[in-house]
Structure 1
């Protein structure tokens, strides 16, 4: 089957309201913000933009409200070359919103109001079936209903597309959905939660986390470790991919950039460890700049080349 798209992302779109603070407040405490910004966000939109800026032919399946924020989010996606025919406007809900505080250390705290994201349904996935069938990789993220995540994963499997599942936040998924994940991407805290949900003893060490995630059903697993890189576990092979030193300004959206890069690279034919190496580079660059989508690089900013976006064979390496 011809694959016209590199990555189809199924997930959320949010407007991000970000306050810079010297430190995060304690319960009941008020702190003064040093800055306040409004920008495009949401795990689904973040991944779509990150992949598109790297050169992936990308589409997004999601929902926004019929309001100014929704129109701004869709316009931002189109400006980055993301196909938005299945990013629907919902007349009955507001656009999703994330309230973010970023401390001077770069660490963030996020509260999300799902709004229109909560109305993305399995029926929307059925309507996007031909789009999903045109993709090399389908990247599914949370912040949308579990039944929709399951429908998207099953649609990807039936279409023969590779499924990248970023299980953040963690929910309990049916066994067939977890078994389709290739890879399952979680951070170390989420890995422990997934293992607890599945009644598996939590082992010692992040390398063992990745291996244990395969034992509970995932075809392959990536456990992200922030500045320490990531651990990749595949059948017969486990590897630690070192992190890249970076002076973190804002970690918001870095995990989304990592997952998007993995989806892009495996769609181009890279091995999972090689895709994770690319992803650590993108993640390290992302945290050095404020915001989520505003921090995502284009390919020439990583390689020092002027390679044209969307050019070349899908299996060719740009390294």
Structure 2
């Protein structure tokens, strides 16, 4: 079983469903509201665990009811939370609007996540024993960098999802093995709109890149090779929240099992296609038996 450590965020998603998202200054009436455990780190941990990985979560929840619910959700999905800290104050929240096309807009309030500024006791030992380390950008960059450098020291495959998109320090990219942005994040990082050209630009900083393209699938390239595009299954999206995290979690499990990258991408796309057909993030993520049907 692939050993995966996720250093990342835990948030309670506060999700409002509307026919269309409001414009600036506009009020619209929604049809439903849900609280759903999420956060990019926790989402990737749940996705990887359900896909068959042996997953441990490093980060922080708040000393509140949301924190208890977030921890319970991870444990229920088989994620080890022994090194998930409890910080004073509230847990992180994500305020999400989902429209009838399945699109979403999100405001994240870090709260407890913002207290994770460095690795804590036992974190590096846990990382050193893993096959893969998953990172995102909803924790302070100092913690992300510390995790990536620990992964590099111990020869652990380090996978970074550069979201929310922001300029990345060269020392972080130097410690990353695989970068997995979506097409918008890739464009923001490079200033290049075309995914293939953006991937080429990113290869100057990291050895491997997978760019997710939504319904169009995903694009992979590595130094010295031609890009490969893997299509995604055609489905009707209900809610795209968590799709990218599902892809990354499943992709990491597949790579840890020794699958070739195109096969791993296809398997991850199958997982993400199941996710978007259901509402919510962690609640919509498929189990291995579903992905392999």
CA contact (8 A) 1:12 1:44 kept: yes
CA contact (8 A) 2:2 2:256 kept: no
Give 1:223's aligned residue. 211
CA distance in 1, matches of 2:52, 2:277: 21
Is the counterpart of residue 276 in structure 1 residue 273 in structure 2? no
Cα distance, 1:121 vs structure 2: 1.9
TM-score computed with the length of structure 2 as normaliser: 0.96
| Residues 73-88 of structure 1 aligned to structure 2 (within 5 Å) | 73-88=70-85
Aligned residues: 292
Give 2:135's aligned residue. 140
TM-score computed with the length of structure 1 as normaliser: 0.89
Structure 2 counterpart of 1:190, from 166, 185, 197: 185
Give 1:34's aligned residue. 31
1:186-240 C-alpha deviation (Å, 9 max, x unpaired): 01111111114xxxxx2x632222122102x111001110000011011222201
Give 1:288's aligned residue. 277
Query: What RMSD, in angstroms, separates the aligned Cα atoms of the two structures?
Result: 1.3
CA distance in 2, matches of 1:98, 1:23: 19
CA distance in 1, matches of 2:202, 2:55: 28
Structure 2 counterpart of 1:245, from 228, 231, 234: 234
1:126-153 C-alpha deviation (Å, 9 max, x unpaired): 5411110111000111110011110000
CA contact (8 A) 1:207 1:240 kept: no
CA contact (8 A) 2:187 2:195 kept: no
Structure 1 counterpart of 2:9, from 1, 9, 12: 12
Cα distance, 1:5 vs structure 2: 5.6
1:82-116 C-alpha deviation (Å, 9 max, x unpaired): 0001111002x210001111101110111111100
SS of residue in 1 equivalent to 2:80: coil
CA distance in 2, matches of 1:181, 1:208: 20
SS of residue in 2 equivalent to 1:227: helix
CA distance in 2, matches of 1:275, 1:210: 18
CA distance in 2, matches of 1:270, 1:164: 16
Give 2:256's aligned residue. 267
CA contact (8 A) 1:179 1:219 kept: no
Give 1:96's aligned residue. 92
CA contact (8 A) 1:258 1:279 kept: yes
Segments of 5+ residues of structure 1 without an aligned counterpart are 197-201, 305-319
